[in-house]
Amino acid sequence: MNITKANKVSIKQAAGIIKEGGLVAFPTETVYGLGADGLNPIAVAKIFEAKKRPTFNPLILHIADVKWLKKFSSVKSEKVELLISKFWPGPLTLVLPKTDVVPDIVTSGNETVAIRMPDHPVALKLIEASSTPIAAPSANKFGHLSPTEAYHVAKYLGDKVDMILDGGKSSVGVESTIIQFQDDKFYLLRPGGLSKEEIESEIGKIETGIVDPDKPNAPGQLLSHYSPQTPLKFFNKKYLDKNKKIGMLFFCEDKKLFPFYKTKILSSNGDLREAAANLFSFLHELEHENLDLILVESIEEKGLGIAIMDRLVKASNKKF
């Protein structure tokens, strides 16, 4: 088993793995995280692959220094600063407007990014030594419980990660509380290790409703799914119309099916990690072309192909 006791040497080694685009499971005060370089889209794709998630979910960027925040978020708010000064490092994740530096695969194409500074010396040293924010979901397989000890991670993900840093038992034991800041208001997206009351004692009332303008008042619904604003369909000859501006998203080769206005290829050698890493950015690019229609090629639902297809099917079901 690749469990390694966290110390100066192993943390340095783990940071090397992160910098090279590998996966490291590491302790935080809430639960163990499955970490990758948050600025390297291919490394982030490996997280989804390892977790076997059937969907893409936006990930939390873990930082080691408050000064890093402005690189990844454009937020300017005294209340946000107050929360940070009171509760970071700690089990509070803030969903904030993102900057262009944050890859689309981290945010699932959303304009917001979730950021937190964990309160665990091993996590902080690892992030610092990696000199990059670490994107990490809880280090469990999809549908399993979140891990609070190194061996929990080893049990389910042992063969999927390059190293598991053992920093003892997570002291909080439940995931961080997530709040979103939008239009000068705070919304609770997930209750967690920091109570709502504690947060409210600093900044006043936070909303528990949802932010999604399409689905007002449906609790639990997050503004976490980006879909292109252009109609999107799976390729079918019946959609080919010379009078329309049509874009095409191929999997691995341009099949020259039609004089498309714009074509994109997710991965020229058919690599699912690269395809996943490109998915949201390519959809954004196609969306910005003012097309009448985006056509997409379906891909085999295997490994990361499952999550990619899930996203495309959802986008194709969107009503206009």
Q: Which residue lies nearer to Mg ion by CB, 139 or 199?
A: 139
Residue 93 touches ligand TXA, criterion: CB under 6 A: yes
Would you say 105 and 42 are in contact if contact means Cβ atoms under 8 Å apart?
A: no
Site for ligand TXA contains 30 (CB under 6 A): yes
- Tell me how crowded residue 2 is: count the other CB atoms within 10 A of its CB: 15
28 in contact with ligand TXA (CB under 6 A): yes
CB burial readout 289-313, b (16+ within 10 A) else e: eebebbbbbebeeeebbbbbbebbe
- Taking CB within 5 to 8 Å according to partner kind, which of ligand TXA, Mg ion, none is near residue 222? ligand TXA
> Does residue 176 bind Mg ion (CB under 5 A)?
no
Residue 87 Cβ vs ligand TXA, minimum distance, rounded to whole Å = 13
CB-based burial, 129-157: b 16+ in 10 Å, e otherwise? bbebbbbbbbbbbeeeebbbbbebbbebb
Binding at 57: pick from ligand TXA, Mg ion, none (beta carbon under 5-8 Å per type): ligand TXA
Residues 150, 12 contacting (CB under 8 angstroms): no
Residue 261 CB, shortest distance to ligand TXA, in Å, is 31
Phi, psi of 107 (to 5 degrees): -100, 5
Residue 210 binding ligand TXA, by CB under 6 A: no
Residue 137 found at the interface with ligand TXA (CB under 6 A): yes
Q: Binding of ligand TXA at residue 31 (CB under 6 A)?
A: yes
Give the Cα separation of 33 and 58 in Å (integer).
14
Q: Which one of residues 138, 224, 230, 263 is an interface residue with Mg ion (CB under 5 A)?
A: 138
Q: How far is the CB of 249 from ligand TXA (least distance, A)?
A: 23
Kind of pairing between the strands at 134-136 and 33-37: antiparallel
Please name the helix (run of DSSP H) or strand (run of DSSP E) that holds residue 246, with its range, or none. Answer: strand 246-250
Shortest distance in whole angstroms from residue 138 CB to Mg ion = 3
Check residue 114 for interaction with ligand TXA (CB under 6 A). Answer: yes
138 binds ligand TXA (CB under 6 A): yes
Residue 33 binding result from Mg ion, ligand TXA, none, given CB thresholds of 5 to 8 Å by partner type? ligand TXA
Binding mask 262-301 for ligand TXA (x = CB under 6 A): ----------------------------------------
Q: Which residue number, 138 or 148, has a Cβ lying nearer to Mg ion?
A: 138
> Which of ligand TXA, Mg ion, none does residue 31 bind to, with CB < 5 to 8 Å depending on kind?
ligand TXA
Cα dihedral 268→269→270→274 (10° resolution) = -70
How many angstroms separate the CA atoms of 179 and 92, rounded? 8
CA atoms within 13 A on the CB side of 29: 20
Binding mask 50-89 for ligand TXA (x = CB under 6 A): -------xxxx-----------------------------
- Residue count at the site for ligand TXA (CB under 6 A)? 26
Which positions from 177 through 196 interact with ligand TXA, judged by CB under 6 A? 178, 189
Which residues, 6+ apart, have CB-to-CB distance to 227 below 8 Å? 314, 315, 318
The Cα–Cα gap between 13 and 243 comes to: 57
The burial of 48, by beta-carbon neighbours within 10 Å (0-12 exposed, 13-18 middle, 19 or more buried), is given as buried
Q: How far is CA 1 from the centre of its chain?
A: 27
List residues binding ligand TXA (CB under 6 A): 28, 30-31, 33, 57-60, 93, 95, 107, 110, 112-114, 118, 136-138, 175-176, 178, 189, 222-224
List residues binding Mg ion (CB under 5 A): 138
